[in-house]
Structure formats: C-alpha cells, structure tokens
Amino acid sequence: MATEIKVPTLGESITEATIGEWLKKPGDPVKVDEPVASLETDKVSVEVPSPVAGVMGQYAAQVGDTVQVGAVIGSVESSAGVPPQVAPAASPAPAPAPAAAPAPAHEEPAGDLTLSPSVRRMVLEHGLDPTQIKGTGKDGRLTKEDVQHAIDTAQSKPAPAPAPAPTPAPAPAQAGERREERVRMTRLRQTIATRLKEAQNTAAMLTTFNDVDMTAVMEARAKYKDLFEKKHGVRLGFMGFFVKAAVQALRDIPAVNGSIEGDEIVYRDYVDVSVAVSAPNGLVVPVVRDAQDLSVAGIEKTIADFGKRAKDGTLKMEEMRGGTFTISNGGVFGSLLSTPIINPPQSAVLGLHRIEERPVVRDGQIVVRPMMYLALSYDHRLVDGREAVTFLVALKNAIEDPTRLLIDL
C-alpha cells in the first residue's frame, strides 16, 4: 500500500516551493518523520518528512519543479507490501574437472623428442616446452632432473611487470575557447533579487556613514570572554554590543524603527532586530524578537543558534518574519565599506564592516586605533538626514563607551 508524500503547509502567504533535493532514492528504507526531500521557498529550505515508515516509492516531481502546497510529490510504500530481499541461492560448487587423460605414447609434445613416461608427466603438468630445456641424459635426452631444474628456474624469475597503459595525449586546447555554465536560480535567490530591487524602486534610499573606535569593546571582550563563555555557554562577540547599542539609539530616534504602510507611519515601542546570517543558498535574515528585553548574553545565544540552524537549513518560517530593523555584518567576510539595501517594509539597515587599525587623532596626538566603518541606509521618505546622523552618533557613543549601555545614556 502506498502513502502519498505531500508538500506541507509552508507558512503564512507562502503557497509554493521548489524541489531542491531528494534525500531518499526509490527503494531506500525510510522511517516515519525521516526527511525524504528538501524544498526551497522564498525564505528558507524546508525538509519534507515521511508520513509513514516503509520504502521510498517513485517521485511525482523532480528537482527544480515548482510545486504547490498540498501537491503530491512522491510516495512511500508500506513495509508490509514490499517483498523481503531474498538472498540469491548459493550456486552449487562446480564439479571438479576430470583429470586430463595422459597423452598417448605416440603423442609426444616435443615432436620427434623421445621422453620417458615420468619426464612426459612432469612436462605436461607444468606446461613446459621440452624443446626449450637442455637435456643432460644419454644422447641429449631429458631427465627428471633437467625438467625439475627448468621448473625451479622459472619459479625463481620475477613475474614480468605489466606494461604501463599508454597515457592519452591531452586534447589540444582550442584557441580562444570560452566556457559558460548555466545554473537555474534557486527560489530563495529569486526572492532576494526581487525584494532588493523592489526596495530600490520603492524607497527613497540614502546612506550615511560614520566610524567607531572599537578599543573599549575589544578590551571588554578580551577581559571577560572566558568568564562569559563559562557562565552562559556561548562566545562573547561584537553583535551583542551592537544590538544593545542599536536598541538604545532606536528608542531615541523611533522613526528609524518605524515603517510606512499606505499613507500611515507605524511607530513601535519594541525592537525586533533582523540579523543577516549566511546560509548555503544565500543570506537569510532571522529575527531577534523583543531585543529591548534581552541581555547581551541572551542576544548572543539567539544569534549563535540562528547561525547554526541557518547552515543546517532548519530555520523556521516564523523566525524570518516581522523584523523592524536590520543589522548586516559584512565585516566577517572582509568588507571595509558598503551601502546596504533596506529590507522592506523596514525603513533602515545598519551595515557593520571589518575592524582595521588606522591612525586617528586623540587629544592632539596621532595614535593607532582599531576602527570600523558604520553605514546606515534609510528610507528618506520617513527618516530625515538629521535623524539618521543622530542615530549613528548615538550608536557610536555607546560602542566607544559601553558603560553608557549599563546606565542608559
């Protein structure tokens, strides 16, 4: 009996997906709830579990096909309906070949050579050519000793090494040859392309920059990272500081945390921070909910969990929806400066970059400091330039003096 495998419900407003990969082949055993296929949606990859235990049946959709929610994409055959694998019966041992009848006396292997019966038997048993053996008997006849000496000599010689296979000559390169590879865009990549272009077409997007001295945060991290990891079970990174600093700055400049819906502006008293993390098929943006209520440890734990599950492809749909502000850290890939694109319907995105030692002036002296460029892209329809700059300055002040985060300045 076959049980259908259907596309599961994928989340609010998501009605279709693409077959990304079949994880089981027809005939493979499967357990109940074991993943048999991977679907790509416009947000994340989703695994399709087997509804029953049994044996994987035939596919009803192939990799790359677009399928609707509820569509049948394959089947699982019940174990009871699958005949057991029976080992092939052992073949009876072949009957031993009859011993070769001794050659009649008149059928000597050496033509006109005269061999004694015992010598003839040795020659036949070892497949020797008697004409190639020097006889030491009367009139040059072969003796048993002569044949045995030939046998011993043949066995002592090493087997000839097989001749190496000739190496085929490489195909001559075609002058001016150029190659192309065409790969179908994943649904996630298509959606990223569509949404980013939509943001550019809709928002009046502008980017403002600042830089921040990372000395204080780096010293705090170096001083407390071991105790922090021992107590909380997660590494102390920089994102915890930046999220806390962003939350504080967003309370001062609420427009950066707002959005435009129709002819209305939506202001919020909470902060759901979308954090861009790398996944096998591109960047995904899970949301740290109610970041204003989380400690640095709570933020770091949440982000570390997102990063791990993004690589595993196990992020859930609901974890990707509803962010109010985005932080993207291109610095982990070595980016020095960028102009990030807003993630609609949000009105702003903060770009972090690599930390680089640069000469700066402090108290009239040129000193070297670990500096990072900050970039805030914002929707100028909602956020004025003054507000964008004020937000970045507040963020910069909090990072350069983390005590501000503790006393709410």
> Which residues carry out catalysis?
380, 384
Query: Exposed, middle or buried by CB within 10 Å (0-12, 13-18, 19+), for 124?
Result: middle
Rg (CA), the chain: 39
What φ, ψ does residue 330 adopt, rounded to 5°? -75, -10
What whole-number distance in Å separates Cα of residue 297 and Cα of residue 285?
Answer: 20
Q: What's phi and psi for 15, nearest 5 deg?
A: -110, -10
The residue written with tokens 């943006």 in the block is 285
Q: How far apart are CA 39 and CA 19, in angstroms?
A: 5
- DSSP label at residue 51: S
Rounded CA-CA distance 49/31 in Å is 9
CA–CA separation, 73 vs 29, rounded Å?
17
User: How many CB atoms lie under 10 A from the CB of residue 336?
Assistant: 11
CA distance linking residue 349 with residue 133, whole number of Å: 94
CB-CB contact of 274 with 346 (8 Å): yes
Q: What does the DSSP assignment read for 50-114? A: PSSSEEEEEESS-TT-EEETT-EEEEEEEGGGS---PPPPPPPPPPPPPPPPPPPTT--TTTT--
**End-to-end CA distance of the chain, in Å?**
68
Q: Contact 36/3 with Cβ under 8 angstroms? A: no
Residue 81, amino acid = G
Total length of the chain: 409
The answer to whether residues 73 and 60 touch, using CB atoms and an 8 Å cutoff, is yes
